[in-house]
Each structure stands twice: as structure tokens, then as C-alpha cells.
Chains A and B, each alone.
Chain A
Amino acid sequence: MAKTAEQIRGDLLRPVFESGAGYWLGVGIAGSMVLAGVFAFSYQVYHGLGVWGLNWPVFWAFDITNFVFWIGISHAGTLISAILRLANAGWRRPVTRCAEAITVFALSIGAIIPICHLGRPWLFYWLVPYPNERHIWPNFRSPLLWDFFAILTYLTGSTIFLFLPIIPDAAAARDLTRGWRKKLYAVLSLGWQGNPKQWHRLESAMHIMAIAIIPVAVSVHTIVSWDFAMTPVPMWHSTIFGPYFVTGAIFSGVAALILAMAFLRKFLHLEEYLEPIHFDNLGKLLLTMSLLWFYFTFAERLTTWYGNDVSEMNVFWTSIRQNFAPLFWTMVVCNLIIPFPLLAIKKLRTITGTCIASATIVIGMWIERFLIIVPALEHKFLPYAWGTYRPTWVEDTLMVAGFGMMGLLYLLFSKLVPMISMWEMEAGVRKAPLVRRPAVRFEPGGATAKARVADPEPFATDVSR
């Protein structure tokens, strides 16, 4: 890639400043999905949780499925970005920003769902440990409280991790814009001047965050799995759940990342930045995760089968042979049978191929979470207390709203920050140290005019080699 810094900035900032009708259509669709969710939630709060399909004994279903699903999606971004940064993989550069954004947004959605699912959602803050008029602390033995802290930590960490590399880009945008955007970028850039001391600090901070975020990410989905594994429910009470969930999370997260990248590539016209090599590399990672997922699923099922515990076998057979068999085998097809050839055969590991595989995996992993939760709750120990579950329109709408919210946040974010880190792309195309100057003034609505600004750094290198 022989693009100059000016070209890179022009290419990457153009979609930030210019929006077509398609963009607003997208915002409209995603926004209506979110509004539908707001309506459904209000309806639920007004009437009570009975408007959901939950019953005795299925007290969790779509709600927690979606919770685990979105927390899982959030595991691609920051984790992959951190690993690729630490490994100093050159091809990471156009991938990291959109991956980190997925994490922050998916995690936000994942964090909202457990609040909506409460019987009394307006009291969710009772999970926060603060000196209160109730004279009681939250119960630190409860996995839900661990969830609360793990998700909060991960959300804070990944927001910082997303924000740090935005600083230089925000400074560049600040120097190129006027009006409210200039004010906004002035705040976001935290007074960034681009001097060597600042670069040094930025890189140290990013390095620290990249290392710190990996154990946090692993802990988050382990703790999510413990919401199930810490209870004596058949097929939940399992030591394999921690790593099984982490694997599933990264699996679905990488799939979501590939889909998001393909989307950005098409609609923001980033063909020259998000190249087939990126999809190829992520496709290999997805293949690895697919096989790992199958390994865990196989190990879990086989040990349960050989264990032959009465209560566990009820859940086992209901998901493999009986009511849930269609869903179970759809999951296997979606997570292994379709993706495996698409990702294993080099000729098929194209952008289209990886996208098809990713789409089926996202569906398959949603089903996986549903199959972990519902069959087990339907068939606990006492057959007298067995039940069945069917969702209502309220749960369906809230689920759709989750996807709408992801789309909406992503679309809005793409108008504030370039979806590919400009300075990292620039750093990728030249050998000189990371010292740069503001060089391009952007004229909203027009072409990118080049107006050189006096260079504050005496040793700044010429980037247009």
C-alpha cells in the first residue's frame, strides 16, 4: 500500500464527515428497532414481567440468552485487538478500531439486558455496594454480583482501550474541522500536540491496557458462565463451563467482527484498507475457534452421556433427540458443518466465504446459549415441575432492539471517529518514528483540500516517501 498520510486521512475521514441517504436510512431502521424495544420495555414495566413468555420453571430464557450472546460478541474486539497489538501483527492496523468499538457497544447492550430482565428493573442499583439507607451490602457470594463487577471493569477497560488510540486521530480531526466538531474533537484529543513525550505516554498506556484487558476479558465470560455453573441445575453444574464460554465468546465475537468489517468495507468504501488478507487471517482464527468450540461441545456432551446421571440425561436427550433436537442440530450445522469447509479450504476463504461462515456462526452461537439455558430449566430434578417455554412478542421485540442498538451505536460512532485508526495506518506505511504534523484541512461537503500548516516539530519526517 503506497498511500500517503494525506490520502489515508482523506479516505478515512471522508465517511466521517459525509453521509448519504443510505446512512440516514440505516439510522432510521436501527433507530426504529431501538424505539420498538423501548416501547416493549415500557409495556413490560407497566404490566409486569408476565408479558414475557417466562413461567414456572423457566425463569430465564430469551433475556439471558441475549445477555450471554452480546457479552460473547464483545469478546472479539478488545481481546483480539490486544493480542494483535502485543504480537505486533502488522495486519492488525485497519482491524483494531472497529473491533474495539464492537466490544464497547456489545458490552453496553449486554449490560442493559440484565437490568431490563429484572422483576423490578427500577431497583437495579441495589447491586451497587454503597452506604445506603437499607443498611445492607450486596451479596458478594452471588455470581450476579461478580458479573456486575466484571462487566463494569471490562466496560471501563475497553472504553479506555478504544479511546486511547482515538486521541491522535481526534487531534488530527480537530485541526481539520470547524464548529461543533472542532469543539468536540478538542475535548476528545485531550490537548494532544503530538510531541514525543505524548507519543511515548500514549504507547505506554496502550501497552499497559493491552496487557491488562486480556485477563479481564477472560474473567468476564468465565464469570458469565458461572451464573450457570454455580447452581445445581442439570447440565449447568459443570467445570467445563468457564473455558467453554470463553471459547464460544471469542468464536462468536470474531464472526461478528468479520461481518462488521465487511459491512464497513462495503458501505464506507474502504476496499483498499480492509483487504482480503484481513478476512483471510481472521478466517483462520475463526476456523481455530470453530474447532475449539466443537471440541468443547463434544467433550461436554460425551462426559455427560457416559456419566449417565438421570437428571442430566433428561436434559441431554431433550436437546439431542427430542423437543430441542432441530435447534441443536441447526447449531451444529451453523457452527461447524457450514463454516468448516468455507474456512478450511483456501479458495473458499474469501470475503464472501468468511462472511457466510460468520453469519451462520452468529446464528449458531445464539442458539447455543438458548440451548444451554432453556432445556436445563425445563427439565430440572422433579418431573412434576417440568415445563415448556415459548417467547412472546415482547421478548422478540427486545431481542430485535438489541441488534438495532448495535447498528445504531455503530452508525453514530462512524460519524464521530474514523472506523480505521488513521495514525496507525500511517505508521504502517512508513518507517519513520511516530511523529507527525497536522497537514490536511477538511472542507465539509467538499473535496479534501490540502493546506499545509506550520510544522511544530522540527524533526518531523516527510511522510510522503
Chain B
Amino acid sequence: MPHKWAMVIDLDRCTGCEACVVACHAENNIATAGPDQAARGRAKHWIRVERSWEGEFPNARVRFQPVLCQQCDDAPCEPVCPTYASYHTPEGLNAQVYNRCIGTRFCANACPYTVRFLNFYNPQWDKPLNLQLNPDVSVRSVGIMEKCTFCVQRIRAAEIQAEGEKRELKDGEFNPACVQSCAPKAMVFGDLNDPNSEVSRLARSGRSTKLLAELGTKPNVTYLQQDSWQNGKNG
């Protein structure tokens, strides 16, 4: 049976430490923009932690929500790409084929989650960051879009390993960088087609919600929260 990769993020566990953001940058060779470019809106964070405040001081609390590519089943970014750079893989991943991208940026406009990023310049790494580039991930040149891949390089590596050992992939055998680095274990990654996987179990939870579910994009990222802060109730 083909896999259907999915993620569950428990917002009640998230502490907003942003370890996932750092891990993602390191794993996926995401160039840093520098303060000037970041101020101009050129920072690239495949995963970001959105902060929102509830209540009035002194009874205020902050909630964190890590937002990454939702790997939608009905992704608005896919049909608009004229060159199939934004492409739906048989495993349900929302792939970005860098070599096909000509930089129309249509996908970035169409994405309701705003999780797609343009390489405004050729990427550069301040020393010594240039020494820690991940050889498994291609570096993206100027003018093309990039976004979260669910660490497809890790998925492929694990699949190849399992195939070589003539066995099925085990649940939790590998994880994307953000999940691996999540200290409070707020993030869980796995195969939704395996009903016994942890991600399937958690996705069935009564606390599960989808981000912007009303748009019908069918995200493969599920958020868990006690009560929706969007309802204005403190969970």
C-alpha cells in the first residue's frame, strides 16, 4: 500500500521554542537572509511559529502555532504552476521540483498559508554556516520557489533502506527535522494509511482541527488543541 505522509502538531504541547525552525534551516540548506533583507520580507522559514495573544493584560496568554506547508491533497499551488514545478507525488506529497521552476510565483500567491518562498538572490551562508550544508538536499538558485518538503530526503532514505532490507517501514523509524527536534514532542510524523500509526491515532483525536479547513484544501497537517483559540475561549 502506498504511504500517505502526514503530520500532527499538538498546539497544547508547543512551547514556541522554535527549535523546529532552526532544525529545518540546518537540514534543508535554507539560506539566511540577514537583518536588512529580512526587514524587507525576504526571510525564508519553511516552518514558522506564529504567535497570537489571547485576553487582555494581565490575564493574557500567548499561543504558538507552527505553520509549515500543509501538504494539501487539493493544493491550490499545484494547478496554477505552468511548468509542473509544483507537483503532487503519488505518496500525496506536495513536491516542488526546483529544476522545473521558472519563477512565476503564481503558486506563492495561490497558497492560502503563505508557506512558499522565493529565492530573491542566489543563496549565501555566512561562515561557518557554509560548512554545515546538508549534502542530501539541493541548494536552490536565484529565481525559484521553495518550501517545506516534509524532509523528502529522509523519507526516500528510509524507504530505500527498508527496501534493501526487504521489510516494511516501521512507524516512527524516521522523522523530519522539525519533528525530530521538537523537545516537548508536540509534532508527530507518520503514515496516515497505516491505521495503527501514532499519527493516524492522533489525527482521529477529538482535539483535531485543520488550518483554514473552510477553504477545502484538505491539508495533511492536523493541529490538536483543547479548544479553538479562534473561538475566543481559553482552552
- Where the two chains meet, the residues of A that have a C-beta atom closer than 8 Å to any C-beta of B are 47-50, 54-60, 114, 117-120, 123-124, 126-127, 134, 136, 138-139, 141-145, 148, 227, 230-233, 377, 380-382, 384-385, 387-388
Contact = CB atoms under 8 A, between A and B. Distances in A.
A230 B112 contact: no
B106 interface: yes
A126 B114 contact: no
B145 A56 contact: no
A369 to B, nearest CB: 15
Q: Is the interface of B mostly helix, strand, loop or mixed?
A: loop
B42 A50 contact: yes
B81 interface: yes
Interface stretch (B7-15, B119-127, B131-139, B180-188): B119-127
B92 interface: no
B100 A55 contact: no
Given A119-B145, A145-B82, A148-B82, A56 B104 contact: no
Given A56-B43, A60-B105, A144-B106, A232 B84 contact: no
Contacts of A227: 106
Pairs A-B, 5 closest by C-beta atoms: A119-B103, A119-B143, A55-B41, A50-B120, A385-B114
Contacts of A126: 82-83, 100, 102
Contact of A144 (B43, B80, B108): B80
B81 A142 contact: yes
Given A48-B142, A57-B114, A142 B106 contact: yes
Contact of A118 (B80, B81, B103): B103
A50 B121 contact: yes
Given A49-B143, A50-B42, A119-B119, A57 B108 contact: yes
Interface string B98-116: 0011111110111011100
A55 B113 CA distance: 15
Contacts of A58: 41
13 contacts: A48-B121, A50-B142, A54-B118, A120-B142, A120-B144, A139-B79, A139-B82, A139-B84, A142-B79, A142-B80, A230-B80, A377-B109, A381-B212
Contacts of B104: 114, 117-119, 144
A231 B76 contact: yes
* Size bin of chain B's contact surface: 35 or more
B142 A142 contact: no
Contacts of B158: none
A146 B223 CA distance: 37
Given A59-B105, A119-B101, A233 B110 contact: yes
Given A127-B82, A144-B82, A120 B102 contact: yes
Interface of B: 37, 40-44, 48, 50-52, 67, 76, 79-84, 100-106, 108-110, 112-114, 117-122, 142-145, 212, 215, 217
Contacts of B42: 50, 55-56
Name, among A56, A60, A388, the residue most crowded by chain B CB atoms within 10 Å (CB to CB).
A56
Give the interface centre of A55, A59, A120, A231 by most chain B CB atoms within 10 Å.
Answer: A59
A58 B117 CA distance: 11
Given A50-B37, A134-B100, A59 B82 contact: no
A291 B84 CA distance: 41
Contacts of B212: 381-382
Contacts of A143: 80, 106
Contacts of B82: 126-127, 138-139, 142, 144-145, 148
A138 B109 CA distance: 19
A356 B137 CA distance: 58
A2 B105 CA distance: 58
A113 to B, nearest CB: 12
A48 B102 contact: no
Nearest to A115: B102
Contacts of A387: 41
A56 B41 CA distance: 5
Contacts of B101: 119-120
B105 A232 contact: no
Contacts of A59: 105, 108-109, 118
Given A118-B103, A382-B114, A48 B122 contact: yes
